[in-house]
Chain A
Amino acid sequence: MKPKHQRLLLALIAVVALVSAGLIAASALREEASYFYTPTTLAAANVEPGKAIRLGGMVQKGSIVRGGDGVSITFIVQDQERSQKVAYRGITPDLFVEGSGVVADGRLRPDRVFVAESLLAKHDENYVPKELADIDMNAAAYTKDTLAP
């Protein structure tokens, strides 16, 4: 193969890789948008039970109830207007605390309880040492400034 053709081939590969990376990213982001619900949009959308959806919101304070077996958990996800009961079985991420953001993949049960198959926690942009935060360990919404003595 002539060096010139080799260069052309590599340029083509680079362009194809670039375009496909962009397409993958775009489709992944769009897919996420199409089945993402908050408690308010979920209440309005009339989603049939058993359909795979994603639910996002804040964990309501005082709503986490852990089952006796150590892996079952129920809690309430809320946004500004509505709330939605969620059941999950499994190990929760470290950042899953009351008041923190959460994204759950799962399905609605016929009794309108959302059964999560996976649970992702969201971190905010604040990094605070434990000693400063012991005023209220479970409140994720505090910032460095409200916690600092």
Chain B
Amino acid sequence: MHRFANPARFLRIAKPLTPALFWPGLLLTLFACIWGLFFTPTERLMGDTVKILFVHVPAAWLSMGGWTGIAIASIVQLVWRHPLAGVAARAIAVPGATFAAICLITGSIWGRPTWGTWWVWDGRLTSMLVLFFLYLGYIALSNASSEKGDTSRVAAVFGVIGAINIPIINRSVIWWESQHQKASITFSGSSIDSAYLAPLFVAVAGFSLLFGALVLMRMRAALAEMRIEARMRRMAEG
């Protein structure tokens, strides 16, 4: 667990890994978007709005995966005092919040032509909005404690407690069945035709790699800032 605790060792891996995730991620994402936009058939009821799926679903999955990552990193930080875990958790927050916002906005744009409304207070939509607010709260908390360079335990506790919302989002379409359709992709199979499923998985892979690259970039920025702060403190003392 503590093998990557040394920031120098982490950076030796992170520096080549950042472009290795970013460029394939960008290529896959662009490829999936072009495939989805121009080379998928229109859906029998939704028509062309089905193409919104290719950005909406990866954004939804990654914003939920992002908070799961924050929760795991926060537990590692709280229990094992792993020095990089807090840095990782904070690095996830802004990309995760952006993906949650993308999910909400694209979902709203999809809802207008298909359901006939931009927004309803449906269980799935509401719990997703709560996830977005949780991200904002987490970002505010972690920014408030970053001045001293120590990773905040309050933010870590908030990250763990907020994870309650993730299974709620997942189950919301079953518990409060109203407007949002049920899950199409489950462990037992998919009710999405393969013409849409294939580009969707490419898009999920591409966005995931980009997400990884973004988290690494933000971790490297945070570690460099911590080095600067430590240096400044030593200079002020000496």
User: Which residue of A has the minimal Cβ distance to B186?
Assistant: A125
User: Which residue of B has the minimal Cβ distance to A102?
Assistant: B116
Contact with A along B138-177 (1 / 0, CB 8 A): 1011001101100010100010000000000000000010
B192 near A127 (CB under 8 angstroms)?
Answer: yes
The stretch among B80-88, B124-132, B210-218 that forms the contact with chain A is B124-132
Interface size class of B (residues with CB under 8 A): 35 or more
CB-defined contacts of A121 to chain B, threshold 8 Å:
114-116
Our pick among A10, A17, A119, A125 for the contact of B116 (Cβ within 8 Å) is A119
Our pick among A17, A96, A137 for the contact of B44 (Cβ within 8 Å) is A137
Task: Give min CB distance, A132 to chain B, whole Å.
Answer: 7
A144 near B120 (CB under 8 angstroms)?
Answer: no
Within 8 A of A (CB), among B171-187: 176, 178-179, 181-184
B45 near A94 (CB under 8 angstroms)?
Answer: yes
User: Which residue of A has the minimal Cβ distance to B53?
Assistant: A127
B121 near A127 (CB under 8 angstroms)?
Answer: no
Report how far A50 CA is from B141 CA in the complex, Å.
49
Is B50 part of the binding interface, using a Cβ–Cβ cutoff of 8 Å? yes
User: Which residue of A has the minimal Cβ distance to B182?
Assistant: A125
Report how far A143 CA is from B184 CA in the complex, Å.
11
A11-B154, A25-B127 known; A133 and B44 CB under 8 Å? yes
Our pick among B44, B126, B137, B152 for the contact of A128 (Cβ within 8 Å) is B44
B41 near A93 (CB under 8 angstroms)?
Answer: no
A93-B113, A94-B46, A95-B115 known; A125 and B133 CB under 8 Å? no
Is B188 part of the binding interface, using a Cβ–Cβ cutoff of 8 Å? no
Report how far A113 CA is from B41 CA in the complex, Å.
39
Task: Give min CB distance, B90 to chain A, whole Å.
Answer: 14
CB-defined contacts of B47 to chain A, threshold 8 Å:
94
Report how far A7 CA is from B140 CA in the complex, Å.
9
Our pick among B44, B113, B147, B192 for the contact of A130 (Cβ within 8 Å) is B44
CB-defined contacts of A17 to chain B, threshold 8 Å:
133, 136-137
Report how far A120 CA is from B120 CA in the complex, Å.
10
Is B43 part of the binding interface, using a Cβ–Cβ cutoff of 8 Å? yes
Report how far A124 CA is from B127 CA in the complex, Å.
20
Task: Give min CB distance, B165 to chain A, whole Å.
Answer: 10
Report how far A14 CA is from B114 CA in the complex, Å.
34
CB-defined contacts of A133 to chain B, threshold 8 Å:
44
CB<8 Å pairs between A and B, sample of 26: A3-B144, A7-B144, A7-B145, A11-B141, A14-B137, A17-B133, A17-B136, A21-B130, A21-B133, A25-B121, A29-B126, A93-B114, A100-B45, A103-B179, A118-B116, A123-B46, A126-B191, A126-B192, A127-B43, A127-B46, A127-B53, A127-B191, A129-B41, A129-B42, A129-B196, A144-B191
A-B pairs, top 9 by smallest CB distance, nearest first, are A93-B116, A133-B44, A28-B121, A129-B41, A14-B137, A127-B192, A125-B184, A25-B126, A10-B144
